[in-house]
Chain A
């Protein structure tokens, strides 16, 4: 493993978003891979908010295909996303997206779709009205926009709720309608900031499948998360970010091995938390368990197996509805500490 320092070598990780990235030279990170033109190229990018540093001398090339941006909260993921979507201007350094500078270049947004992290909408609008209104900003006529919006809502399986006010949507539906507005205009590059946050297990699985399908269709996707398991299920190619620096880039499986050495915490909000808890305790990989209000918080030694069982439970519905599954970011902290220490 190569833990990349403050100014990692810009390399094009060879992944097509369909599986594990082909690696060469025996080193999974940073070196020995054939360079490919990147969809996002950052050179010595720093971003300060007054005295606070958001990004610290980041030099990285994000290749075509699906790339995961992994890091705990406050690591600089959202700042990086805002810089590459042209919402923030780098304090230092330069950044190009799809070969062009992004800051002050609105024409580039024809080719970019962005799903932000924040849970913000025009609440009085219906999902269809909202997506259509945003599609109209891309220059489509009203009737075209409605047709495009309907199609986008169909993709994210929100057709039935298209005419409901967004204010009445569940957290998962709100996430999906955000994704619909991002993909509606069929962009070349999708930038998704924590897209799975708050989704139930079934929708999470569907969304992951959707993202992989886009990757297969030749779209480039940069998706951020603080949960390795999520990223791993979408792509093998990751950028590891912490304290505003890209610590490592390359194959997810190496990181995974490290993470598996540490317990993984999962927060599950459900109708029948006690019944779920009883079921969880029948498996060896559940290390501990506690209740927090209407949720059960589980520590597992094998997140893969745990998530697979959880998804099956949610699909069967035998232990009631599972509303929300989240994972705090402390799972990654130990790994980041390891990487920072080199």
Chain B
């Protein structure tokens, strides 16, 4: 927890957090634009002629913007940097010459990442929820339980991606590039292939946690149909837990064994 305390402040006030905070403003801007359109034209939103409620639009934003894009981005940028930042700043020496195991340093920093990213994502999601759900006559009260499950899904995604990219960061050189290729090449690419390969992605397990009804017969729906081989919720949760646990264990082992040669 001491590493957690030390790292959380560093993470929250880092330039990375400012940049990603701005990124998290993107969905808010989109939500506000949708709301303005709704107020001005009072026609609600239609997908393929069918009237679509605010709850469904919110679900689409959560899936397409947050789960498919923002959560992996947060995972890549923070996860790969958990140890790499300290190495680059040459401050790792101070942490690795204290009576605390290196794996505890990694886990403390991972927890700090989780809290930091959740604190970044949560306000954005809440604002989008309150702006978008009332469009088309949607009810905030009715949609609130699904907000909780969405937040749970986002945290599960942050946990799994953070652990995977922590592993990438501790095992590989150029972790950011590898992480980006994994998040935006491997993950979406493999989902298009039949067979078991897709089970080696985080996204495959996150799909089952989507609580919203997705609109059908649209281009978006067609894309979403590709992922319809959806595992059971329990399988998904177990899969995410295994991915997170194994990745963290392997990352911790790497940190324990690796020598960090700082450039003078």
- Residue B96 interfacial (CB < 8 Å): yes
Contact status of A87 and B93, CB under 8 A, knowing A136-B5, A136-B6: yes
The reply to whether B98 and A122 contact each other, CB–CB distance below 8 Å, is: no
B contact residues around A85 at 8 Å (CB): 97
The reply to whether A118 and B94 contact each other, CB–CB distance below 8 Å, is: no
Among the 9-residue stretches A9-17, A108-116, A326-334, the one with 4 or more Cβ atoms under 8 Å from chain B is: A108-116
- Residue B142 interfacial (CB < 8 Å): no
The reply to whether B100 and A137 contact each other, CB–CB distance below 8 Å, is: yes
User: A133 vs B153: C-alpha distance in the bound complex, in angstroms?
Assistant: 33
Among the 9-residue stretches B35-43, B73-81, B225-233, B253-261, the one with 4 or more Cβ atoms under 8 Å from chain A is: B253-261
Interchain nearest-CB distance for A116 vs B (Å): 5
In the A-B complex, the 4 residue pairs with the smallest Cβ-Cβ separation, listed nearest first, are A120-B90, A137-B98, A109-B99, A118-B90
Against B, the Cβ 8 Å flags (1 = close, 0 = not) of A115-136 are 0111011101000000001101
- Residue B264 interfacial (CB < 8 Å): yes
The reply to whether B96 and A87 contact each other, CB–CB distance below 8 Å, is: yes
B contact residues around A108 at 8 Å (CB): 99
B contact residues around A181 at 8 Å (CB): 94
**Which residue in A106, A116, A138 is a CB contact (below 8 Å) of B93?**
A116
The reply to whether B264 and A118 contact each other, CB–CB distance below 8 Å, is: yes
Contact status of A122 and B99, CB under 8 A, knowing A88-B259, A104-B256: no
Interchain nearest-CB distance for B227 vs A (Å): 42
The reply to whether B262 and A118 contact each other, CB–CB distance below 8 Å, is: yes
The reply to whether A49 and B261 contact each other, CB–CB distance below 8 Å, is: yes
User: A66 vs B100: C-alpha distance in the bound complex, in angstroms?
Assistant: 27
**Which residue in A89, A114, A120, A133 is a CB contact (below 8 Å) of B97?**
A114
Additional pairs, 7, CB under 8 Å, beyond known A122-B91, A124-B10, A134-B94: A86-B96, A104-B256, A106-B101, A116-B90, A134-B98, A136-B5, A137-B95
Interchain nearest-CB distance for A182 vs B (Å): 9
The reply to whether A120 and B89 contact each other, CB–CB distance below 8 Å, is: yes
- Residue B2 interfacial (CB < 8 Å): yes
Chain B residues 42 to 85 lying within 8 A of chain A, measured CB to CB, are: none
User: A134 vs B260: C-alpha distance in the bound complex, in angstroms?
Assistant: 19
A contact residues around B6 at 8 Å (CB): 133, 136-137
User: A106 vs B100: C-alpha distance in the bound complex, in angstroms?
Assistant: 6
Against A, the Cβ 8 Å flags (1 = close, 0 = not) of B5-24 are 11000100100000000000
A contact residues around B89 at 8 Å (CB): 120
Interchain nearest-CB distance for B204 vs A (Å): 37
The reply to whether B97 and A87 contact each other, CB–CB distance below 8 Å, is: yes
User: A181 vs B94: C-alpha distance in the bound complex, in angstroms?
Assistant: 9
User: A87 vs B13: C-alpha distance in the bound complex, in angstroms?
Assistant: 28
- Residue A78 interfacial (CB < 8 Å): yes
- Residue A139 interfacial (CB < 8 Å): yes
A contact residues around B111 at 8 Å (CB): none
Chain A residues 81 to 97 lying within 8 A of chain B, measured CB to CB, are: 85-89
A contact residues around B101 at 8 Å (CB): 106
The reply to whether A109 and B97 contact each other, CB–CB distance below 8 Å, is: yes
Contact status of A137 and B93, CB under 8 A, knowing A49-B261, A107-B99: no
The chain A residue sitting closest to B261, CB to CB, is A49
**Which residue in A88, A104, A109, A118 is a CB contact (below 8 Å) of B98?**
A109
The reply to whether A117 and B259 contact each other, CB–CB distance below 8 Å, is: no
- Residue B178 interfacial (CB < 8 Å): no
The chain B residue sitting closest to A120, CB to CB, is B90
The chain B residue sitting closest to A119, CB to CB, is B90
Contact status of A122 and B10, CB under 8 A, knowing A78-B264, A137-B3: yes
A contact residues around B5 at 8 Å (CB): 133, 136
The reply to whether B90 and A87 contact each other, CB–CB distance below 8 Å, is: no
User: A106 vs B105: C-alpha distance in the bound complex, in angstroms?
Assistant: 11
Chain A residues 213 to 252 lying within 8 A of chain B, measured CB to CB, are: none
Among A108, A112, A117, A118, find the residue whose CB has the most chain B CB atoms closer than 10 A. Answer: A118
User: A111 vs B101: C-alpha distance in the bound complex, in angstroms?
Assistant: 15
Interchain nearest-CB distance for A141 vs B (Å): 10
The reply to whether B259 and A106 contact each other, CB–CB distance below 8 Å, is: no
Against A, the Cβ 8 Å flags (1 = close, 0 = not) of B99-127 are 11110000000000000000000000000
Interchain nearest-CB distance for B7 vs A (Å): 10
The reply to whether A138 and B259 contact each other, CB–CB distance below 8 Å, is: no
User: A108 vs B90: C-alpha distance in the bound complex, in angstroms?
Assistant: 22
Interchain nearest-CB distance for A241 vs B (Å): 16
The reply to whether A136 and B264 contact each other, CB–CB distance below 8 Å, is: no
Interchain nearest-CB distance for B231 vs A (Å): 39
The reply to whether B91 and A124 contact each other, CB–CB distance below 8 Å, is: no
User: A87 vs B259: C-alpha distance in the bound complex, in angstroms?
Assistant: 7
The reply to whether A118 and B100 contact each other, CB–CB distance below 8 Å, is: no
The reply to whether B93 and A120 contact each other, CB–CB distance below 8 Å, is: yes
Interchain nearest-CB distance for A152 vs B (Å): 14
The reply to whether A86 and B98 contact each other, CB–CB distance below 8 Å, is: no
User: A311 vs B200: C-alpha distance in the bound complex, in angstroms?
Assistant: 66
Interchain nearest-CB distance for A329 vs B (Å): 13
Interchain nearest-CB distance for B115 vs A (Å): 17
Among A108, A116, A124, A137, find the residue whose CB has the most chain B CB atoms closer than 10 A. Answer: A137
Interchain nearest-CB distance for B47 vs A (Å): 47
Interchain nearest-CB distance for B229 vs A (Å): 44
Interchain nearest-CB distance for A265 vs B (Å): 21
A contact residues around B261 at 8 Å (CB): 49, 88
9 cross-chain CB contacts under 8 A: A87-B260, A106-B99, A107-B99, A109-B97, A109-B99, A117-B264, A118-B264, A122-B10, A137-B2
